[in-house]
Amino acid sequence: MPESQLIRHANKLYENGWMAGTSGNLSVRTEDGFRITPSGKHKGELSVSDLVLLPSSGVLPTGLPHRPSAEISLHQSIYRNCPDARAVYHVHTVEATVVSEWARSGSLELPPLEMLKGFGWKGGEPSPVLPVFSNHPDVRDIAANLETFFRRKREFLLPGFLIRLHGLTVWGESPDAAFKHVELFDFLFRFMVLSRSVSL
């Protein structure tokens, strides 16, 4: 069941320090819309019943026991524009936050590491770049920039993006794929941070 996978992943991501202080949010697409982690709840202590359903209509029912994540607009935009996305994971890792500062003109060039093959990258081609969006106090403003990116038919070379000094968002065709993508990006970001620090 995708919801159970999401809960398992929330625990793992929390244990890795990538969802500290109730930060981050995970969602899975379901037949009736998508289910997302609640706002303000510890990600290491969630159960399936804590997940909030956002119906396909996009309108949240009133009187819900939990509020959905405040970053729900990012998830909505991805599901709307990426038909293959079945899960969207948004995490705050230290290294993702550090490398987001290294972006030039809104994108970050990734090193041509073997790990990129986990995304289907063949090697021997120019390294992919990752979009980096500006952070805003109101997440809907970040989601508006993401919508503009999609509308302009700008292509995501990899299933993810960064928000500057904020965190990483990925998607996948299953919860397991989204989890793998978080791990792959984390490896790349840790390599980038470490390789800069040892060359000082």
Q: Which residues of this protein are in contact with Zn ion, per CB under 5 A?
A: 167
| Rounded (10°) angle between helices 2-15 and 175-198 | 20
Picking from 82, 70, 104, the residue whose alpha carbon sits closest to that of residue 29 is: 82
Shortest spacing between CB 32 and Zn ion, in angstroms = 25
Least CB distance from residue 69 to Zn ion, whole Å? 8
The two counts, helices (H) then strands (E), for the chain are 5, 8
Residue 116 or 169 with smaller CB distance to Zn ion: 169
Query: Of 160 and 167, which CB lies nearer to Zn ion in the complex structure?
Result: 167
Smallest distance, Zn ion to C-beta of residue 145, A? 14
Cβ at position 116, least distance to Zn ion in Å: 24
Residue with Cβ nearer Zn ion (167 or 175) = 167
Question: What CA–CA distance (Å, rounded) separates 127 from 112?
Answer: 5
Q: How far is the CB of 149 from Zn ion (least distance, A)?
A: 17
Residue 189: partners with Cβ closer than 8 Å, 6 or more residues away: 93, 95, 96, 98, 99, 168
DSSP 21-40: GG--EEEEEETTEEEEPBTT
Q: Nearest to Zn ion by Cβ — which residue?
A: 167
The smaller minimum CB distance to Zn ion, of residues 116 and 130, is found at: 130
Task: Answer yes or no: is 90 a known binding residue.
Answer: yes
For residues 37 and 69, the answer to whether their CB atoms sit within 8 Å is yes
Name the 3-class secondary structure at 88: strand
Task: Report whether 69 contacts 92 (CB < 8 A).
Answer: no
Q: Which is nearer to Zn ion, 29 or 43 (CB)?
A: 43
Q: Which residues are annotated as a binding site for Zn(2+)?
A: 90, 92
Annotated binding residues: 90, 92
